[in-house]
């Protein structure tokens, strides 16, 4: 009886969270429709929104933040870092146009949430975190939640992850002062990179960097954003 009652409680909690996630996704779609982001001809793809409806963001935040997990804002995850705002996660994922066979590199694992989202659209996700305890915790979490397509490591993501290069898509979730040349090298011709660039506390822009099939690189500003800085010795 007790076991059945607790199963019932879990199911009720799951249902409540699914409802919250569905509301979060409606909010993302509404912002997207109203944002009028220049240089974008379409809204966030339905496939991306459907993944956002499935990934349990509450599993990626510390206990005190769980009641806020489905609010459309960044939340603290310890070590002075944050899990990004859901709208920004959806937008960055959409800009990458990930295909099912793709191999994706993420710089800045943080909580592991963005990696989990990407892994539902790609063949493989490689993610690097510079703060060791955060990286280890995110890896454990991704394993526990059975996101098996994600491989993680602790290190300075400025230099990318040469072993698995080249990548169809690269996403950087911390703001850099410039686009790191090693990441451009590790991007496949025809590949796309999304990266916030700019100084901390000053205006940063989300950039879409595209490497054409002939290897030439073009960059487009998408919108002003605020990210924690990309740190390291580079």
Q: Which of 194, 176, 213, 211 is CA-nearest to residue 40?
A: 194
Sign of CA dihedral 144, 149, 154, 156: negative
Residue 59 within binding range of ligand SAH, rule CB under 6 A: no
Residue 129 within binding range of ligand SAH, rule CB under 6 A: yes
Q: Which of 107, 125, 183, 194 binds ligand SAH (CB under 6 A)?
A: 107
The residue range among 96-104, 125-133, 142-150, 186-194 that interacts with ligand SAH, by the rule CB under 6 A, is: 125-133
Q: Token pair of 128, please?
A: 């690097």
Q: Which residues contact 214 (CB under 8 A, 6 or more apart)?
A: 189
**Would you tell me how many other CB atoms lie within 10 Å of the CB of residue 63?**
7
Q: Which of 52, 105, 157, 168 binds ligand SAH (CB under 6 A)?
A: 157
* 120 touches 54 (CB < 8 A): yes
84 tagged catalytic = yes
Residue 180 within binding range of ligand SAH, rule CB under 6 A: no
Residue 197 within binding range of ligand SAH, rule CB under 6 A: no
Residue 108 within binding range of ligand SAH, rule CB under 6 A: yes
Provide the strand spans (E) within 30-166: 75-78, 81-83, 103-107, 124-129, 150-154
Cα 226 versus chain centre, distance: 14
Which residue is listed with tokens 């963005």? 114
Nearer to ligand SAH, 166 or 232 (CB): 232
Q: For the segment 209-228, give every residue that binds ligand SAH (CB under 6 A).
A: 228
Q: Which of 70, 87, 147, 158 binds ligand SAH (CB under 6 A)?
A: 158
Q: Which of 25, 128, 187, 193 binds ligand SAH (CB under 6 A)?
A: 128
Residue 121 within binding range of ligand SAH, rule CB under 6 A: no
DSSP 221: E
Distance CA 75, CA 57 (A): 11
Residue 131 within binding range of ligand SAH, rule CB under 6 A: yes
Report, in Å, the least distance between residue 155 CB and ligand SAH.
7
Q: Which of 119, 188, 123 is CA-nearest to residue 160?
A: 188
Catalytic residue among 50, 84, 103, 216: 84
Q: Which residues are catalytic?
A: 84
Query: Contact positions toward ligand SAH, by CB under 6 A?
Result: 81-84, 107-108, 110-111, 113-114, 128-131, 134, 156-158, 173-174, 228, 230-232
């Amino acid at each position: 009886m007790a076991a059945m009652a607790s199963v019932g409680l879990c199911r009720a909690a799951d249902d409540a969270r699914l409802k919250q996630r569905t509301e979060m996704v409606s909010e993302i779609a509404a912002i997207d429709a109203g944002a009028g982001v220049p240089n974008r001809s379409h809204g966030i793809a339905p496939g991306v929104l459907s993944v956002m409806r499935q990934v349990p963001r509450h599993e990626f935040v510390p206990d005190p933040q769980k009641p806020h997990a489905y609010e459309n804002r960044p939340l603290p995850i310890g070590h002075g870092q944050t899990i990004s705002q859901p709208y920004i996660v959806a937008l960055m994922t959409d800009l990458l146009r990930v295909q099912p066979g793709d191999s994706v590199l993420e710089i800045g694992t943080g909580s592991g949430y963005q990696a989990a989202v990407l892994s539902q659209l790609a063949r493989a996700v490689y993610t690097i975190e510079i703060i060791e305890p955060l990286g280890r915790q995110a890896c454990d979490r991704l394993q526990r939640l059975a996101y098996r397509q994600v491989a993680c490591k602790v290190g300075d993501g400025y230099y990318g992850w040469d072993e698995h290069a080249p990548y169809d898509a690269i996403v950087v979730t911390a703001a850099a002062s410039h686009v790191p040349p090693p990441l451009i090298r590790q991007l496949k011709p025809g590949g796309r990179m999304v990266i916030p660039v700019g100084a901390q506390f000053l205006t940063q822009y989300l950039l879409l960097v595209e490497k054409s099939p002939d290897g030439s690189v073009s960059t487009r500003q998408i919108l002003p954003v605020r990210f924690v800085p990309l740190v390291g010795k580079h």
